[in-house]
Amino acid sequence: MTKPIFCIPKTPDKPLYRWLLGFFMIAIIALGWKYPLLGFAVPVAMITGITGGLFRGRYVCGNICPRGSFYDTFFSYFGGSRPIPPIYKSLVFRWGIMVLLMGFMTWRIAANPSDWRHWGMVFWSICLITTAMGVTLGMIYRTRTWCAFCPVGTLAGVIGERKYRLRISQKCRQCGICEQACPMELSIARYKNEGETPNRDCIKCSSCMKKCPTGALSWPGG
Ligand code: SF4
Ligand code: SF4
């Protein structure tokens, strides 16, 4: 019997709302050139991600971001499995990308600042460019390679570095299964004695928690 190419059960842990957010992302890319108003979803997502940092660090990245949802659902069938190159995680590269993208956006908007359709097109073009980058890198390396240096994620991580940290208990056997499941390739087990993980790039996706055989991981208040 031939195997189906596309079947939802590969990511059964992803709730329907994540698939809908992923579909929303695809719709913006596909239709934004014709309906520039859709481009305003980009600043909304940016503001949501950064504001979320005040309360739960990069929680929005792993649970609400339409592009992150696209990576975790539709794109999970095509994403690669090679390690994310360390340079993408370096501060110089990350802040460089942020300055580049913000500069490009400001320069493009300044060309016609009184036309909201122009603003929408600029946001859409940023979305298209960065998604193309993310998809290409995600196929070569890991699915969430883009998230290693996403400017919004970087800001949210800095703002919420001490918020909603993943907790690790003495039940940990340091088997490393959780780290293999982490889409951001973060260290977890080494913080067993500290009781919590200080990773500012944790996107609070709970993938590690779902895989842990001893139930050693939890969220604050959980
Ligand atoms: S999967 Fe659980 S037991 Fe294994 S290293 Fe991670 S936290 Fe520890
Ligand atoms: S540490 Fe756990 S919750 Fe954080 S990004 Fe990695 S898998 Fe997700």
Do 141 and 174 fall within a single domain? no
- Domain end residue (candidates: 126, 159, 192): 159
Question: pLDDT band at residue 222, thresholds of 50, 70 and 90?
Answer: confident
**Domain enclosing residue 86, as ranges:** 13-159
The per-residue pLDDT of the chain, averaged, comes to 93
Question: pLDDT band at residue 149, thresholds of 50, 70 and 90?
Answer: very high
The residue type found at 20 is L
Distance 84 CA to ligand 1 centre (A): 22
Distance 157 CA to ligand 1 centre (A): 23
Do 47 and 117 fall within a single domain? yes
| 5-15 average pLDDT score | 54
Query: How far apart are the C-alpha atoms of 186 and 118, rounded to whole Å?
Result: 39
Surface-to-core class of residue 156, CB atoms within 10 Å of its CB (0-12 exposed, 13-18 middle, 19+ buried): buried
Do 33 and 104 fall within a single domain? yes
- Domain end residue (candidates: 119, 140, 159): 159
Q: pLDDT at residue 8 above 70?
A: no
Do 155 and 172 fall within a single domain? no
pLDDT tens-digit series, residues 81-136? 899 999 999 999 999 999 999 999 999 999 999 999 999 999 999 999 999 999 99
Ligand nearest to the CA of 207: 2
Instruction: Please give the backbone phi and psi of residue 138, each rounded to the nearest 5 degrees, phi first.
Output: -65, -30
The residues, any chain, with a CB within 8 Å of residue 78's CB and separated by 6 or more, are 138, 139
Do 54 and 147 fall within a single domain? yes
Surface-to-core class of residue 106, CB atoms within 10 Å of its CB (0-12 exposed, 13-18 middle, 19+ buried): exposed
Residue with the nearest Cα to atom 6 of ligand 1?
A: 178
pLDDT tens-digit series, residues 182-191? 999 999 999 9
Question: pLDDT band at residue 6, thresholds of 50, 70 and 90?
Answer: very low
Q: Give domain status of residue 4, yes or no.
A: no
Residue with the nearest Cα to atom 3 of ligand 1?
A: 172
Do 153 and 194 fall within a single domain? no
According to the model, what pLDDT value does residue 216 have?
98
Query: How far apart are the C-alpha atoms of 32 and 197, rounded to whole Å?
Result: 39
Exposure of 39 in the CB half-sphere (CA atoms within 13 A): 22
Do 144 and 80 fall within a single domain? yes
According to the model, what pLDDT value does residue 189 have?
97
Q: Give domain status of residue 81, yes or no.
A: yes
| 145-174 average pLDDT score | 97
Do 152 and 180 fall within a single domain? no
10, 77 contact by CB (below 8 A): yes
Domain count, the chain: 2
Q: With H, G, I as helix, E, B as strand and everything else as coil, classify residue 13.
A: coil
Question: pLDDT band at residue 221, thresholds of 50, 70 and 90?
Answer: confident
Question: pLDDT band at residue 202, thresholds of 50, 70 and 90?
Answer: very high
- Domain end residue (candidates: 119, 138, 159): 159
Ligand 1 pocket check: which of 173, 182, 210 to mutate, most ligand atoms within 8 Å of Cβ? 173
Q: Give domain status of residue 8, yes or no.
A: no
pTM strictly above 0.85: yes
Do 88 and 191 fall within a single domain? no
Here the CATH number for the domain that contains residue 204 is 3.30.70.20
Residue with the nearest Cα to atom 1 of ligand 1?
A: 212
Question: pLDDT band at residue 13, thresholds of 50, 70 and 90?
Answer: confident
Q: Give domain status of residue 1, yes or no.
A: no
Q: pLDDT at residue 155 above 60?
A: yes
Q: Give domain status of residue 145, yes or no.
A: yes
Q: Which residues line ligand 2 (CB under 6 A)?
A: 62, 166, 181-182, 184, 186, 188, 202-208
Instruction: Please give the backbone phi and psi of residue 132, each rounded to the nearest 5 degrees, phi first.
Output: -60, -40
Query: Residue 218: enclosing H or E segment and its boundaries?
Result: strand 217-218
Distance 53 CA to ligand 2 centre (A): 15
Q: Which residues line ligand 1 (CB under 6 A)?
A: 168, 172-178, 188-189, 212, 214, 216-217
Question: pLDDT band at residue 12, thresholds of 50, 70 and 90?
Answer: low
Do 70 and 129 fall within a single domain? yes
Number of H helices, E strands in the chain: 9, 2
Do 123 and 22 fall within a single domain? yes
Do 171 and 151 fall within a single domain? no
Query: Percentage of residues in the chain with pLDDT exceeding 90?
Result: 92
Query: How far apart are the C-alpha atoms of 13 and 63, rounded to whole Å?
Result: 12
Query: How far apart are the C-alpha atoms of 147 and 71, rounded to whole Å?
Result: 10
Q: Give domain status of residue 97, yes or no.
A: yes
